[in-house]
Chains A and B, each alone.
Chain A
Amino acid sequence: MKKIQILGILLLSINVLNAQEVAQDSIVHKLSEVVLVGNATNKHHNENKSLATIEDYLSASPSVDFIKRGAYAWEPMVQGMATERSVVTIDGMRIYGACTDKMDPITSYVEISNLSKATINIGQQGAENGATIAGGIDLERRKTGFRNNGWKGSVQTGLESVNEQKIAGAALQYSSNTFFSDVDVMYRNAENYSAGGGGEVLYSQFTKYNLSAITGYKWNDRQWLEASVIYDEARDVGYPALPMDVLLAQAFIGSMEYFALPESEKLTQWKTKLYYNTITHIMDDTQRPDVPIRMDMPGWSKTIGMYSKLNGTHNKHRWNLSVNTHYNNSLAEMTMFPENPDENEMFMLTWPDVGTLYAGVFAEDSFKLSEKFTVGFTVGLGVHHNSINDIFGLQSLQIFYPEMDDSKTRFLLNTGGRVVFQNNFWTHSIGLGYGERAPSVSEGYGFYLFNSFDAFDYIGNPEMMNEKSLEFNASTGFHNKAFSVKFNTAFYHISDYIIGKPDPDLSPMNIGINGVKVYEQLPYAQLWSNDISVSYEFLNGFTAKAKAIYRLGRDHNNENLPLIQPLTVETVLRYRKNLFYAEALVETATKQYDFSPEFGENQTPAYTIFNLALSQTFYINQQKMVLKAGAENLLDENYSTYADWNNIPRPGRNVYANVVYAF
């Protein structure tokens, strides 16, 4: 039975095989590792830096990378595709960023200390929480559960040299058989960081506070209720790659969830959640000494939603059925202050109070054909309705689209299937998928959104069709006790690919920039994503690992798509003995041969950096102390990656120390 379950789980995500690897090795494990409060999962302290950012953790997955606009709140890319094409959720909750410049991805509203794992499903296997092309990331928060552990707690602190970052956090848990509560606070404060070889990167400072609490009450063996809140506030966040900074990014994320374990043996679990979140994001340029014109750009996003998920098994089937719906309201405005104080302020709605109502059903099933073969499929159907609730905003957009209506309804289909073969050493899988997505708020309804990468203003296009993706993926893996290797490849043929194209007839709004781009649809674009991971354990305590990623993205004219990762290789050597642990890492990327000048990209040179990490754990009675120290970019290389917005250099040599004390 257990075997079937495991197989079932494996089947259901495209990353199945990946998931296994990741689950045992990187993401899932690493994230739960950070807890450091004596959880059973915490058997290896194989994480270099327990107080690293969530971005650092997620980067361990070959499917995930980040666009970096500064030191804070990087934008996640799944399979080389940015946030419009993926669905990022926190405990299944949909959250929409409130920043028109994507400076507040969902991942920025949680802290590493209150997450237990991130589940990354690529392609159509990631469509459970909404329509997607690239896949989904679900960030699962840490909760003690009804373990009857009594009181537990931890305090943690860290320092980083490159930006004088100070990190302090505390967590407290209480659990009994019928009640549990987890509370966690975290504070980070960083000054500007220094690039490799010296040189301060101005406007890269940030301060962040995060509070997270989950509590559960169980009134009988089969039913319980959980309530959860996150309050996250970042202030004075600099974005060196952009002409503006963030005065305040604030999120309140709350939910109530009801769990039931049905009496029927065929049903495993039923859970239903109601949630609400509100995001406020205030961008301004008051810190910048020299700007063509002063402007404020606040944005607000509110989402209310629910889901209900039922899992079950039946003969050789393992299935899951869910319904989910949410309503988001996104509003952003821009006020510019003219040099002549007698003139009126210049005001526009950059997101014209856009409502997005989504309702979908999703089903997945995996069926064990034989001892070695399993097939799985997913199907999701959604209704997506956009409305513009502000007449000012509607009339603004009607300047460009005189005939446009104030609302639009779309139907979205997301489906996929795969076959998995598994024996003692080998796992092979092959899958197909078809998915559709609606344009994002910015793509559909953005109004003069400035993109500092290509220095164009972007205008949304409400008349676009759904973007459609046909995907093929395959993976193969071998593992025995000491050696494992795994290769993933995925190919996406995306029709009606949404991208901004210059319109020479339009006059830019922002001063001194290149022009205006309007979102339109290419006949198609193609993305090919490949990664390979190898791991070898030897000499009792040593592990050698390597990971290579290569992606290629081309449009219908065989021109390069922007922000596509060149060949990147990461090599790690680890040594572990008892409670001591050391790791040396080399990350290297080739020159970016395939880049998109049209998008403002230039060729990113090759680079190689070295990291070193040490960790020691001490046990004193029931208490535990973990010391971690290390150095990143040991040789102080001055470099930037393909995903550094405007080639802002990455931090130079960074020496850090993390201390965690748990009781």
Chain B
Amino acid sequence: MKLLKYFSLLAIALFFSCSSDDDNILPINETEDLILVKNFENNQHTISVYNQTGMFELGYNKIYFQIKEGDTFIDNAQVSWKPMMHMMNMSHSCPYSSITRKPNTETLYEGYIVFQMPGNETEHWELTFDYTINGEEFTVSETITVPPSDKKRVNVFMGSDDVRYIVVLIEPSDPKVALNDMTAGVFKMDNMMHFPVVDNYTLKIDPRMPGMGNHSSPNNQHLTQSNSDQLYHGKLSLTMTGYWKINLQLLNAQDEVLKGEEVTETNESSSIYFEIEF
């Protein structure tokens, strides 16, 4: 008898808990795992810019945003963007992707920007969105903050072919003591506004721990370009936590070294490198 009571109570509890689930269908919160960086507002729309950390950083920035008119998400805008660095006597842009709708989401747009230098008191970055909704054009623009970073994740240099290159670390963003998937972007500067991806280069890596007698790790794979995302992919093995310097060498399609030196007994480090600490 007691058992029966217990079961009926259990059944009632189950029933209510089920029904309460059914009653409150919440709209999917697609920014749940993201942090708001900044709202860009004009008269009609608000563009809310998100990323994983809530702030822009020097180097590679994966960026998500939503366009809202009042409380309504707009999912059919044609969007382009332009980041601009305003310096004392000149302005220039940086490498950035085109914008796409994030697959399998209702509201999110995505893209990336590579800030190759930080802003400061006299020099600042400005981000402009130009977008078209149902044939009508809009624009919005805001100054953004890109602070300096204590770890080097982006290299800007002149190659031996007299071309200016930007090499940026993308992954691992969460490094592990493991064979990590490594991704980098390799761009060249055509002019102050145009920084296309370069094709068929090789980015050689040599991870080292300067604090451990320049210990290196095995089974690294140099980064080569992938057809799917145009970025450069390889494998980075990290044998312990701590501070790692990923020494780099950039090779063109003819395997000629454009920048970077091999690490040897006498040469502790390359002139281009990334820093990882975890």
Contacts and interface: CB of A to CB of B under 8 A. Distances in A.
* A, B assembled together: yes
Contact of B242 (A338, A447, A507): A338
Interface stretch (B29-37, B139-147, B193-201, B210-218): B210-218
Contacts of B241: 344-348
Interface in B215-240: 215-219, 237-240
Given A395-B176, A395-B179, A507-B217, A343 B240 contact: no
A187 to B, nearest CB: 39
Interface residues of A, number: 31
B242 A346 contact: yes
Interface residues of B, number: 23
B276 to A, nearest CB: 10
B277 interface: yes
Nearest to A394: B178
Given A344-B277, A347-B240, A402 B212 contact: no
Contact of A343 (B179, B211, B218): B211
Interface string A487-519: 000000000000000000111111110000000
Interface in A320-341: 334, 336, 338-340
A291 interface: no
Contacts of A343: 211, 242-243, 277
Chain B CB within 10 Å, residue with most, of A336, A399, A402: A399
Nearest to B213: A511
Given A338-B243, A344-B242, A396-B177, A507 B211 contact: no
Given A505-B218, A507-B216, A509-B239, A346 B209 contact: yes
Nearest to A398: B179
B6 interface: no
Contact of B177 (A338, A340, A395, A505): A395
B206 to A, nearest CB: 10
A289 interface: no
B242 A336 contact: yes
A619 interface: no
A623 B83 CA distance: 96
B44 to A, nearest CB: 47
Interface string B99-139: 00000000000000000000000000000000000000000
A398 B239 CA distance: 10
29 contacts: A292-B213, A293-B212, A336-B211, A336-B240, A338-B211, A339-B211, A340-B211, A344-B243, A344-B277, A346-B211, A346-B240, A346-B241, A346-B243, A347-B242, A392-B176, A395-B176, A395-B177, A395-B179, A399-B177, A399-B217, A399-B218, A399-B219, A399-B238, A400-B219, A505-B218, A507-B214, A507-B216, A509-B239, A512-B213
Interface of A: 292-293, 334, 336, 338-340, 343-349, 392, 395-396, 398-400, 402, 447-448, 505-512
Given A348-B239, A398-B178, A402-B219, 7 more contacts: A339-B211, A343-B243, A343-B277, A345-B242, A396-B177, A399-B177, A507-B218
Closest 4 CB pairs of A and B: A395-B178, A346-B242, A507-B216, A511-B213
